[in-house]
Amino acid sequence: MTSIEHNLQQVHQRISAAAAQCGRDPQEIELLAVSKTKPASAVEEAVAAGQRSFGENYVQEGVDKIQLLANSALTWHFIGPLQSNKSRLVAEHFDWCHTVDRLRIASRLNEQRPDDLAPLNVLIQVNISDEQSKSGIRLADLPALAQQIADLPRLRLRGLMAIPAPEADYARQLAVCQLMAEAFKQLQQDYPGVDTLSLGMSDDMDAAIAAGSTMVRIGTAIFGARDYGHAAVHHNN
Of the candidates 136, 143, 146, 147, the residue with the CA atom closest to the CA atom of residue 176: 136
Neighbours of 29 (CB within 10 A): 22
State the first-to-last Cα distance of the chain, in angstroms, to the nearest integer.
34
Q: What is the pLDDT of residue 228?
A: 54
Q: What is the pLDDT of residue 52?
A: 98
- How far is C-alpha 35 from the chain's CA centre? 12
Q: What is the pLDDT of residue 225?
A: 77
Q: What is the pLDDT of residue 229?
A: 52
Neighbours of 234 (CB within 10 A): 18
Of the candidates 88, 97, 91, 136, the residue with the CA atom closest to the CA atom of residue 117: 91
Q: What is the pLDDT of residue 131?
A: 77
Neighbours of 116 (CB within 10 A): 5
CB-based burial of residue 140 (10 Å sphere; 0-12 exposed, 13-18 middle, 19+ buried)? exposed
Averaged pLDDT, groups of 10, the chain, 237 residues long:
92 98 97 96 97 98 97 97 95 98 97 98 95 87 98 98 95 97 98 97 96 97 72 43
- How far is C-alpha 233 from the chain's CA centre? 23
Say what the pTM is. Answer: 0.93
Instruction: Report how far residue 112's alpha carbon sits from residue 80's, in angstroms, rounded to the nearest whole number.
Output: 18
Q: What is the pLDDT of residue 133?
A: 75
User: For the chain, how many residues are written?
Assistant: 237
Residue 221 host element (H or E) = helix 220-223
Neighbours of 10 (CB within 10 A): 12
Residues 217, 195, 13, 71, CA torsion sign: negative
Q: What is the pLDDT of residue 188?
A: 97
